[in-house]
Amino acid sequence: MSDPRLAHIRNFCIVAHIDHGKSTLADRLLELTHTLSPQQMKAQVLDDMDLEREKGITIKSHAIAMEYVAGDGRTFELNLIDTPGHVDFTYEVSRSLAACEGAVLVVDASQGIEAQTLSNYMLAREQGLAVVGAINKVDLPAARPDDAALEIEHVTGIPAEKVLRMSAKTGSGVPELLEQIVRDIPPPAGDPDAPLRALIFDSKFDQYRGVVALVRVVDGAVRSGDGIRFLSTGKRYEVTEVGRLRLGLEPVETLRAGQVGYVVAGVKTVADARVGDTVGAAQAEGLRPLPGFREVKSMVFSGLYPMVPEQYETLKEALGKLVLNDAALVWEPETSVALGFGFRCGFLGLLHMEIVQERLRREYQLDLIATTPSVEYHVLLESGGLVTVDNPSQMPPAGDIAAIEEPYVLAHVLTPAEYLGNIMKLCQDRRGVFVSLDYLEEKRARVAYRLPLAEIVLDYYDRLKSVSRGYASLDYEFDGYREGDVVKLDILLNGDKVDALSTIIHRDNAYEWGRSLCAKLKELIPRQMFQVAVQAALGGKVVARETIGAIRKNVTAKCYGGDITRKRKLLEKQKEGKRRMKQIGTVEVPQEAFLAVLKVER
Amino acid sequence: MGRGERRTALGPDPEKGALTVVREGPCDAAREGPCDAAQEGPCDAARDQARAGLYVHVPFCAARCSYCDFSTGTLSVAKLGRYLDALEREIARRAPPAAGLRFTSVFFGGGTPSAIGAAAFERIARVLAAAFDIAPGAEFTLEANPESVRPALLEAWSAAGVNRLSLGAQSFVPEELATLARIHAAGRPAAALALARAHGFRRLSLDLMFGFPGQTAASWDRTLEAALALAPEHFSAYCLIPEAGTPLGDAVLAGATALPAPEAQAEAYEVLTARLEAAGYGCYETSNFCRPGAEARHNLVYWLRRPYLGLGPSAHGFDGATRYGNHRALQRWAAALEAGAPPEAEVERASEESAAAEAMMLGLRLATGLRPADHPPALRAALERRYGAALAAAVAGGRLVTDGASFRIPRPLRFVADDVIAWIAAAAARARVDSRRACSVPSMPCPSPPSPAA
Ligand SMILES: Nc1nc2c(ncn2[C@@H]2O[C@H](COP(=O)(O)OP(=O)(O)O)[C@@H](O)[C@H]2O)c(=O)[nH]1
Ligand code: SF4
Ligand SMILES: [Mg+2]
């Protein structure tokens, strides 16, 4: 039961499939509650990272507090948490859900329920959140709001007639949504008089403040000068600032039970203020940590290497800083014969990997080589031991291996029924094992397959989109390890094995894969001084070969009448061009080539 | 003077302020056969005679060739007058600092030096001889276009000490001359050469061009055939560089016309090298070929990174420490001088790094290769420190050959020389960083410093 002192608070999030209009809806809510002045308004104001604006997706969670005067004249404090929508970031959704009492389920009127609508809804229900259903984009000519409402009813049990119709773009229906939020979402539970307990649902690194932990206060209160402790580590700090989350950080005196805000306490790294941890009063005995968070699990691993070795330290620092902002990123130093010193990084998925690389490039001006992504294998040795291998070059010799287990996922694909055949074929091609099929409504199917994670991480999502003309959607969860007949495929350039290009692959696909990979590498590696043999080998046996012919011409004929400076500058340019390639044995390999495996069509 | 060299005259004649003709005999390399890979390239005598160069840029042409991006324009009385006056000012400016320098070569380039009349030429030559210390027997080259070679000019040149002529033939195929917008008739170079010989010129060079749109293996053959028939002492042969802003270059860059494929250009270069070598011309530098001993001393100055002084618009100079480049446009260059201001558009002081990079890149163009011993001790040390490991790696990888004293690009790789040079530069840069990095990684043993070049 909620304390009357918390009756005016509503903490909620918006869950939706990507592009169904979460961010746009958030904009409308900010406008209607006068949280932002018209000058501060810009489209999708919460997506503040450049990358988010470009990709049109939300990467980090965001939160913002609003004041809303309801129809009955009461003033409410609304805390909205905008969440990411891509399959790689399901975890971030779960963190923000745990800070809320309710969720607005937004469904695009022309698309209907998609895989993530569903998986997020399930997460919300698991957290016991009250759900408000809303159909968005009713202004579109292709809108089928009634169908969408029926889908929502089918899935959530919310009666179709109770589902709101709105347009986040035009704003119609949004005032009604606000009313429904304060009516149907309960105020927070929690004890304002108990010792402090707050959940960290996100954390950012701020240049001036250090770690800024975004918290939902569950019990008690926190103010500047308080002693706090992080329950998982036991480390103690003194709070230097607390505040609410507006467009920026807005300091306040006290954050009370039920509220969402931030805490600054001189914490230097997020490792000491882990997302999912509980912040408690320093002096209180026997505090129980708050539940509801899922361990982050890296699904994909890849080596990141600086293009030029002098950027190693910069890369190290940059990763250190990104980790402060990105609890899902893990990294440790590694070395490669081909690439020198670099870092092994774990990512949630390929999009996450792409985003991290892109941020390293943009925010730290780093020039990077990423090695072939890999999942983590369990290798059972003849000797009885077990090693985990997430880097193909670390695969023990074939003779030492008793068996290899690979990670599996349970994948749920939602699709219009007409693409079901294509999708099932795709899953089967990817060694999928059929689990279940049901229909959400007549023309919309939900199919579940058990698939090796390795088959999903590379291009599965893109293929899925293409075989379904973009209509199918995907969510997956980790589903344990199973034995698989996988082998290591090596790439040799002029006879030298290139560790960074090795992949682990199912034996049945190895030949074809080897051929395609060689062909791709031939495309990506420029002609060199000497002919280059590109070979794919399985345990020492060459299974595919391509030859890259030698360059024939690269010479400046004239000496520019003694203009040696000009010639030297030309040389400088060519040199830089070469430095953007890695010298591997006798061959110069451009950075794109290391991701050839992602570019192979199959 | 190297062994085997024979002088026919000594100059300059102090009375006339002119230089007299020098004729060379074969050097060591020549005696052992020009085609022996280990021995080809400029002989010691030629290197020895290439100590310091004096370059004069004459920015006038009768018409602009379709590929040309040099600083040149059409001639007018007014422009010529302004040019000559400004040139005198520049000479007055540059002579005092060059007081200690004895020039072993003079080169009139352009533009078309033969486009200006005898009087203008004589005036420049006179001022030069008075202002600079030009070594007795210095090589004195003048670039001439075949159509402008006439007896009166030849006499004036000869009298002023010109002892070497470089003729822009480019092609002997009429349609190709049209493509290149060369204004001379295909038969004109033969006549010009004969006339020059009749006037006592013994050091003649022909410029040829290949790898341009429309050229075929057969037409290149025709050009080589015709050129060889003229038996000049020296050839320069350039593969076309399509420069933006030139009609031909723009057409190529826009895709309106196509260069021969790189394979065809490489083939043309191979044919060129093979045919010239068979006829007794060694390839002593990527684009230059000559009979034994007939290397252009002036070119060697550039490749050996020795000092040279440049005069005229777009001319470049180097005093051993600083490089400069004059304004390219005649008007700007002249205006600066008229205002008493420096005519340079750019000045660059060499650093140890740039000096070593230059020495490496320039030396490797020569058939005799990069010889650290050619350079002063400080530069030699810098070369070994910065490039020692990279050069050794290039040798190990087959990109270079070495006899211990010099590093050379093997013949089959000459047409990809820039790639070799860039490779070495990149390898040197990597090695520098690696050695620093390896030392900062605690668990790694610190490597011994890169071993210096042999
Ligand atoms: N026509 C129309 N377009 C909308 C509406 N709401 C959002 N959009 C558009 O749909 C796209 C995705 O919206 P966004 O808010 O970024 O979705 P998110 O990925 O769920 O955050 C954007 O181009 C929006 O402009 C709506 O009500 N009507
Ligand atoms: S003659 Fe020489 S300088 Fe004159 S336009 Fe032709 S190429 Fe250019
Ligand atoms: Mg969004």
How high is the pLDDT of residue B446? Answer: 30
**From CA B255, how far away is CA B274, in angstroms rounded?**
31
**From CA A158, how far away is CA A498, in angstroms rounded?**
57
> Looking at residues B406-426, what average pLDDT do you find?
94
**Residue of A24, A96, A116 to mutate, ligand 1, most atoms within 8 A of C-beta:** A24
**From CA A303, how far away is CA A333, in angstroms rounded?**
9
Contacts of residue A571 in chain B, CB cutoff 8 Å? 357, 361, 418, 421-422, 425
How high is the pLDDT of residue B46? Answer: 85
Out of A232-236, B126-130, B334-338, which region has the weakest mean confidence (pLDDT)?
A: A232-236
> Looking at residues B147-169, what average pLDDT do you find?
96
Separate counts of helices (H) and strands (E) for chain B: 15, 14
How high is the pLDDT of residue A456? Answer: 87
Pocket lining: B110 vs ligand 2, CB cutoff 6 Å:
yes
How high is the pLDDT of residue A45? Answer: 57
Cα A44 to ligand 3 centre (Å): 7
**From CA A245, how far away is CA B159, in angstroms rounded?**
90
**From CA A2, how far away is CA A94, in angstroms rounded?**
23
Structure tokens at A593: 């080539």
Chain B nearest-CA residue for A583: B427
Contacts of residue A552 in chain B, CB cutoff 8 Å? 262-263, 265-266, 415-416
How high is the pLDDT of residue B447? Answer: 32
Least CB–CB distance from B422: residue in A312, A558, A574: A574
Chain B nearest-CA residue for A565: B323
Of B185, B270, B171, nearest to B213 (Cα)? B171
pLDDT at A6 over 60: yes
Least CB–CB distance from A578: residue in B318, B325, B423: B423
pLDDT at A237 over 70: yes
CB contact under 8 A, A308 and B357: no
Of A340, A572, A562, A311, nearest to B424 (Cα)? A572
pLDDT at A120 over 80: no
> Looking at residues A11-34, what average pLDDT do you find?
89
pLDDT at B451 over 50: no
Out of A365-379, B7-21, B68-82, B349-363, which region has the weakest mean confidence (pLDDT)?
A: B7-21
A575 contact B CB<8A: yes
pLDDT at A598 over 80: no
**From CA B52, how far away is CA A207, in angstroms rounded?**
59
**Residue of B70, B114, B236, B248 to mutate, ligand 2, most atoms within 8 A of C-beta:** B70
Of A213, A276, A199, nearest to A243 (Cα)? A213
Pocket lining: B311 vs ligand 2, CB cutoff 6 Å:
no
pLDDT at B210 over 60: yes
pLDDT at A53 over 60: no
Pocket lining: B317 vs ligand 2, CB cutoff 6 Å:
no
pLDDT at B203 over 90: yes
Which residue type sits at B117? G
Confidence band (pLDDT; 50, 70, 90) for A63?
Answer: confident
CB contact under 8 A, A578 and B425: yes
Of A300, A335, A303, nearest to A319 (Cα)? A303
Confidence band (pLDDT; 50, 70, 90) for B435?
Answer: low
Chain A nearest-CA residue for B428: A575
Contacts of residue B398 in chain A, CB cutoff 8 Å? 530
Ligand 2 atom having least distance to the Cα of B181: 6
Instruction: Give residue-wise pLDDT tens across range B362-409.
Output: 999 999 999 999 999 999 999 999 999 999 999 998 999 999 899 999
Of A509, A532, A541, nearest to A593 (Cα)? A532
Instruction: Give residue-wise pLDDT tens across range B23-60.
Output: 333 333 333 333 333 346 777 788 888 999 999 999 99
**From CA B390, how far away is CA B421, in angstroms rounded?**
10
**From CA B90, how far away is CA A422, in angstroms rounded?**
79
Distance from CA of A346 to the nearest CA of B (A): 23
Q: How far is CA B239 from the centre of its chain?
A: 14
Ligand 2 atom having least distance to the Cα of B61: 4
A556 contact B CB<8A: yes
Pocket lining: A16 vs ligand 1, CB cutoff 6 Å:
yes
Yes or no: say if A280 and A288 are a contact pair by the CB < 8 Å rule: no
**From CA A383, how far away is CA A236, in angstroms rounded?**
45
Distance from CA of A552 to the nearest CA of B (A): 6
Contacts of residue A309 in chain B, CB cutoff 8 Å? 430, 433-434, 437
Pocket lining: A105 vs ligand 1, CB cutoff 6 Å:
no
Cα A439 to ligand 3 centre (Å): 28
How high is the pLDDT of residue A597? Answer: 74
**From CA A325, how far away is CA A204, in angstroms rounded?**
5
**From CA A465, how far away is CA A351, in angstroms rounded?**
15
Which residue type sits at A79? N
> Looking at residues B264-268, what average pLDDT do you find?
95
A567 contact B CB<8A: yes
pLDDT at B80 over 60: yes
CA-nearest residue, atom 7 of ligand 2: B68
Distance from CA of A359 to the nearest CA of B (A): 24
> Looking at residues B290-294, what average pLDDT do you find?
94
Least CB–CB distance from B362: residue in A310, A564, A579: A564
> Looking at residues A371-398, what average pLDDT do you find?
93
Tell me the Cα Rg of chain B: 22
DSSP string, A98-165: HT-SEEEEEEETTT---HHHHHHHHHHHHTT-EEEEEEE-TTSTT--HHHHHHHHHHHH---GGGSEE
Which residues does A491 contact at the CB level (< 8 Å), separation at least 6? A497, A498, A501, A502, A517, A518, A521, A534, A535, A536, A537
Ligand nearest to C-alpha B58: 2
**From CA A104, how far away is CA A176, in angstroms rounded?**
13
Out of A272-286, B119-133, B213-227, which region has the weakest mean confidence (pLDDT)?
A: A272-286
> Looking at residues B263-271, what average pLDDT do you find?
95
Contacts of residue B109 in chain A, CB cutoff 8 Å? 561
Instruction: Give residue-wise pLDDT tens across range A452-494.
Output: 999 988 788 888 888 987 777 787 888 999 999 999 999 999 9
DSSP string, A256-323: ETT-EEEEE-----GGGS-TT-EEEETT-SSPPPP---------EEEEEEESSGGGHHHHHHHHHHHH
Yes or no: say if B27 and B43 are a contact pair by the CB < 8 Å rule: yes
How high is the pLDDT of residue A309? Answer: 84
Ligand 2 atom having least distance to the Cα of B143: 2
How high is the pLDDT of residue B5? Answer: 35
Confidence band (pLDDT; 50, 70, 90) for B218?
Answer: very high
pLDDT at A182 over 70: yes
- B86 or A307: which carries more pLDDT confidence? B86
> Looking at residues A261-283, what average pLDDT do you find?
87
Pocket lining: A169 vs ligand 1, CB cutoff 6 Å:
yes
Question: If you search the block for the tokens 């302004």, which residue do you land on?
Answer: B82
In 3-state terms, what secondary structure has residue A327?
A: coil
How high is the pLDDT of residue A54? Answer: 56
Q: What is the mean pLDDT of chain B?
A: 87
**From CA B262, how far away is CA A457, in angstroms rounded?**
41
How high is the pLDDT of residue A140? Answer: 95
pLDDT at A303 over 70: yes
Which residue type sits at A355? I
How high is the pLDDT of residue A1? Answer: 59
A563 contact B CB<8A: yes
> Looking at residues B433-442, what average pLDDT do you find?
46
Ligand nearest to C-alpha A61: 3
Q: Which domains does chain B have, with CATH numbers?
A: 7-303 (3.80.30.20), 352-439 (1.10.10)
CB contact under 8 A, A552 and B109: no
Confidence band (pLDDT; 50, 70, 90) for A43?
Answer: low
pLDDT at A564 over 50: yes
Give B230: exposed, middle or buried? Use CB within 10 Å, 0-12, 13-18, 19+. Answer: middle
Least CB–CB distance from A579: residue in B287, B399, B429: B429
Distance from CA of A261 to the nearest CA of B (A): 42
CA-nearest residue, atom 3 of ligand 2: B111
CA-nearest residue, atom 2 of ligand 2: B111
B377-396 vs B417-440: helix axis angle to the nearest 10?
Answer: 100
> Looking at residues A576-594, what average pLDDT do you find?
85
Distance from CA of A313 to the nearest CA of B (A): 9
How high is the pLDDT of residue B34? Answer: 34
**From CA A345, how far away is CA A351, in angstroms rounded?**
14
How high is the pLDDT of residue A218? Answer: 95
pLDDT at B201 over 70: yes
CB contact under 8 A, A565 and B357: no
Confidence band (pLDDT; 50, 70, 90) for A362?
Answer: confident
Instruction: Give residue-wise pLDDT tens across range A542-562.
Output: 999 999 999 988 887 666 668
